Structure 1
Amino acid sequence: MGDVTSGMFKKIYQETGLESWITSPTDVKLLTLQRYVRLFAYGGSTIILALFLSHLNISDQQIGLFMTLTLLGDVAISLLLTVVADKIGRRRMLALGAFLMTASGIIFALSSNYWILVMASVLGVISPSGNEIGPFKAIEESTISHLIPACERSNVLTWYIIAGLAGTASGTIIFGWLVQLLQVKYSWSPLESYRIVFWAYAAFGIVKCLLALLLSTECEPAGEPVSSTPPTRSSETSLLLPQQGEDERPASKDSIGHPSPRPWLPTLSPETRVLVVKLCLLFGLDSLASGLAPVTWMTYYYNHKFGLSEGRLGTLFFVAAILSSASNLVAPALARRLGLIKTMVFTHVPASLALAAIPLPNNAAVAITFLLFRASTNSMDQAPRQAFLAAAVQASERTAVMGIVNVVKTLSQSAGPVVTGIFAYRQMFGLAFIVAGALKIVYDILMLIMFLGYQTVEERAQQDVECDNGAESEEGAAGYEEDL
């Protein structure tokens, strides 16, 4: 019985990718912790952001405009910091982003002026959606891809994503009930209780800055790892399956020598540019849909339609984030069996249907059920998507490509909140969720059509190695026959 139990836990340990994360370098663990801290702060601010602005007597339309301008500001900041990150230093860029996060939190804790708050959110880092904002995600994912072999990448990225979801869950429930406790037990006004959240947000920015400074020089692109034994599988799922003897290690300083100075702006190959255009169009469509239904608007919707308090909202979105985290544990196993693209699409479609169904019931329990069902499948595509993107481009292009893609996603997402604000102002709040779900389903169909069977750069390199090895074997056999 003990052997069976031990074998079962070992199987779970391997299938969920936890083994890959635990054996990963310390820098990967620090990056994962940074994501947890950051999303903890985002979760706390998101749960009260729209309510905070509403208590400042800001209209729904202006709240939507605020979110849109915030996302547009993020486009500029993210583009600037990600395209030069590999030149200036990834650690410095992460620390700078954390400083901007702290500055935004302090201004929100002190100011009540709409335009000052807009400027703080545009020039700083405030998440209006509860999701990633700023340059952090692109730089961190590029660094993880740099440090981890391709065969382990999806496993590690899964736990990186789970850390963010766990952070969001913790932030929403802790700050949601903290705000309600301050209002009910200590008779604080809503605005006073909301400002405490922003002070905490600034403090978490400082913590994140310190964590960024702890990263080693291995995170910088000068020592890009190369595979000492190329993988032998050519299928899409080889990105997720470890190969015997495969080991990626950074090149030594002696082998690197003195590299020529890198240009400030990245240079992308023609093939990569075509790929980036396609992915930007598809991810932009998905992000536009996400912008119509961010967590901030969802909390506002459930608060106004069903009267849920801050504490109950915190619990609801805590459970949603936990479900998202749990579902991500299944993603690596699915990707190994179905492939990256099929996993992305087949898990995303049910979530899109649930999103479109949220405004249909007038019963809070049914609407909450749709929300939780969506949460249980909505993020399962994230790790496979990032693994696909990392494998589809050259290693030297990853940071720039991920930054460009994230900028396009944010730019597309920025159009959504202001549209939802107009819908809410005209008493058609639910229509935003229906349109968002429909757009996401269109994205899923196009993704399947355009990329099913697509061979990435790494997969083509594997096939070339296989062909070379096969040719060498044939030559060796022919030579042996001649000797006989």
Structure 2
Amino acid sequence: MNNSRLISLLGISTLRAAPRDVHLLYLSRFLRTAAFGSTGVILAVFLSGLGHSDVRVGLFMTLTLVGDVFLSLVLTNWADHFGRRRTTILGCSLMITSGLVFAIASNYWILLAAAVLGVISPSGNEIGPFRAVEEGMLACLSANYDMSDIFAWHIVAGTLGVSFGTFSTGWITAIFQKPVGWTEQESYRVIFIVYTIIGIIKLLVALKLSNASEVSRPTVERQQDAEQEEAQPMLQSEETSVAKGPGPTALMRAVRIFVPELTAPTRSILWKLCLLFAIDSFASGMVAFTLLSFYLHSRFQAPMSLLSSLLAIPFIFSAASSLLASPISKRLGLLPTMALTHLPSAILLGFLPLAPTIELACVLLILRAALSTMDQGPRAVFLSQVVRPEERTKVMGVVNTIKTLSQSAGPTVTGSMAQAGNFGAVFVIGGVLKAGYDLALVGLWLSRRALAEHDDIVLPNVNDNLAENEGESDGTSRV
């Protein structure tokens, strides 16, 4: 294979031609996930070191994710009206605040409030409104480029960030524990200070984004007109409103803070996908990164410096495999790529408790990581292509909210099972649930394929970028 072919296959040519804002978004995600990875690997151990039971640690993770649900839902619902850059800046401010609180506070409830109201990742991966808003920006910025390549490199940036943050944490804490002589808990505080600094840098990056990352005003106005037309039959006459007070109008405004208005075709495909994503996310919550770190630390008594280094390796393999998702999806299709690459990773997760040593456990995690994130890029492209351009940020927000809400129940289940001495069984259950999600996704793809053959429905193709700038989307969902 010649160099030009390889460059095209890996999306490097698209990356070079992409506008400046795309590269800023890559940098933003790298910084953010590095921060999430650094705190994710120590969060459960940090809370346990403060004397909290496994049940309370699991409850902490659950409530943190629940708080993130409402934060994400509100901010992503209003991001296009408030401004995508402003929403990102607000999220950075919350991230900075949370990091400062964790760096100085010890009280369980104060830490919980900071995690719920701010941005602290209990999973080591994406939380908050950042990813949904960024994916809306990328869909807008990549209208004239290969969208699958743009999203693939966005996934790579995030995965490399988690790997870097995870690897750095162990060695930073080791430096402060041995040469400096600090306790484990004191060294963990340093990580939260680093988290705060990264939040500040990320805020500076957000300030550099241009107006091209924002949704165009005519697009927002078209969306507002469509929402008003849908709502009009539900509105009372002016005389009735005067007689009965605010009535439906005020209620609808309150509901729209949390529930975005979406067109009927979008809702039709969205609820089915969200049901499947919910199953997968619940399983992910049970085996969240910080709980995985806690499990390995408890079972093998590994020092954090070794553990963080070993856990960083799978993310490197995950980043490399994410680049292969784009050419594979171009050949197989989006939904098949999502399902067929994710199923083996679910099976490997179920075998994790059988590993007798931490080295073998990490081999299983590396093999799993090489496949587990290959569905993320195709999934983002699929969602971007089956909805209106002006609905993308909202849809990404709804999907992330459903996933986070489902994920939030997982840590509580894990905490209860760990307290009962069944920590290892959590990974078997998680693997079974994830495999069920993959098989259901295959079933959905086959049913959609059969429907398309009979009814001439166009299945989404990764190269069919919607003409967002010209407003050519008709709002129909291509399934």
- Taking a change above 3 Å as real, the CA distance of residues 221 and 297 of structure 1, as seen in their structure-2 partners, is same
Over the aligned positions, Cα root-mean-square deviation in angstroms equals 2.3
In the other structure, the counterpart of 2:428 is 434
Query: Which of the residues 324, 328, 351 maps onto 1:334?
Result: 328
- Mapped partners of 1:34, 1:328: distance in 2: 18
Please give the per-residue CA displacement for 1:104-154, whole angstroms capped at 9, x wherever unaligned: 000000100000000000000000001100000000001100111276111
In the other structure, the counterpart of 1:283 is 277
In the other structure, the counterpart of 2:233 is none
1:396 aligns with 2:390: yes
> Are the aligned partners of 1:47 and 1:299 in contact in 2 as well (CA < 8 Å)?
yes
Please give the per-residue CA displacement for 1:48-69, whole angstroms capped at 9, x wherever unaligned: 1111111100111100000000
- 4+ residue runs over 4 A deviation: 256-266, 454-462
In the other structure, the counterpart of 1:295 is 289
Counterpart residue type for residue 126 of structure 2: E
Query: How far 1:260 moved relative to its partner?
Result: 8.9
> Are the aligned partners of 1:392 and 1:457 in contact in 2 as well (CA < 8 Å)?
no
- Taking a change above 3 Å as real, the CA distance of residues 258 and 49 of structure 1, as seen in their structure-2 partners, is closer
Query: Which of the residues 139, 148, 154 maps onto 2:142?
Result: 148
Which has the larger Rg? 1
Query: How far 1:365 moved relative to its partner?
Result: 2.6
Query: Which of the residues 168, 174, 178 maps onto 1:174?
Result: 168
> Are the aligned partners of 1:71 and 1:414 in contact in 2 as well (CA < 8 Å)?
yes
- Mapped partners of 1:184, 1:461: distance in 2: 53
Query: How far 1:460 moved relative to its partner?
Result: 13
Query: How far 1:258 moved relative to its partner?
Result: 8.5
Counterpart residue type for residue 414 of structure 1: S
Does 127-136 or 256-265 show the bigger shift? 256-265
Query: Which of the residues 299, 302, 311 maps onto 1:305?
Result: 299
1:424 aligns with 2:418: yes
- Mapped partners of 1:257, 1:371: distance in 2: 44
> Are the aligned partners of 1:391 and 1:457 in contact in 2 as well (CA < 8 Å)?
no
Query: How far 1:342 moved relative to its partner?
Result: 1.0
In the other structure, the counterpart of 1:125 is 119
In the other structure, the counterpart of 1:13 is 7
In the other structure, the counterpart of 1:105 is 99
In the other structure, the counterpart of 1:32 is 26
* Paired residue total: 428
Please give the per-residue CA displacement for 1:283-308, whole angstroms capped at 9, x wherever unaligned: 01110010010110111111111111
In the other structure, the counterpart of 1:138 is 132
TM-score, structure 1 normalization: 0.85
> Are the aligned partners of 1:394 and 1:457 in contact in 2 as well (CA < 8 Å)?
no
Query: How far 1:383 moved relative to its partner?
Result: 0.3
- Mapped partners of 1:461, 1:193: distance in 2: 48
Please give the per-residue CA displacement for 1:265-284, whole angstroms capped at 9, x wherever unaligned: 54311111111111110101
Query: Which of the residues 428, 431, 443 maps onto 2:437?
Result: 443
TM-score, structure 2 normalization: 0.85
Give the unaligned 5+ runs of structure 2: 228-252, 468-479
Alignment of 1:45-194 (within 5 A): 45-149=39-143, 152-194=146-188
- Mapped partners of 2:265, 2:324: distance in 1: 32
Alignment of 1:358-377 (within 5 A): 358-377=352-371
- Mapped partners of 1:381, 1:76: distance in 2: 25
- Mapped partners of 2:425, 2:463: distance in 1: 47
In the other structure, the counterpart of 1:343 is 337
1:314 aligns with 2:308: yes
> Are the aligned partners of 2:333 and 2:462 in contact in 1 as well (CA < 8 Å)?
no
Give the unaligned 5+ runs of structure 1: 1-6, 225-255, 466-484
- Mapped partners of 1:396, 1:457: distance in 2: 21
Query: Which of the residues 260, 263, 267 maps onto 1:273?
Result: 267
Identity %: 43
- Taking a change above 3 Å as real, the CA distance of residues 195 and 271 of structure 1, as seen in their structure-2 partners, is same
Query: Which of the residues 407, 410, 414 maps onto 2:401?
Result: 407
Please give the per-residue CA displacement for 1:235-282, whole angstroms capped at 9, x wherever unaligned: xxxxxxxxxxxxxxxxxxxxx999796768543111111111111101
Query: How far 1:8 moved relative to its partner?
Result: 2.0
1:212 aligns with 2:206: yes
- Mapped partners of 1:459, 1:378: distance in 2: 22
Query: How far 1:335 moved relative to its partner?
Result: 0.8
Does 401-410 or 21-30 show the bigger shift? 21-30
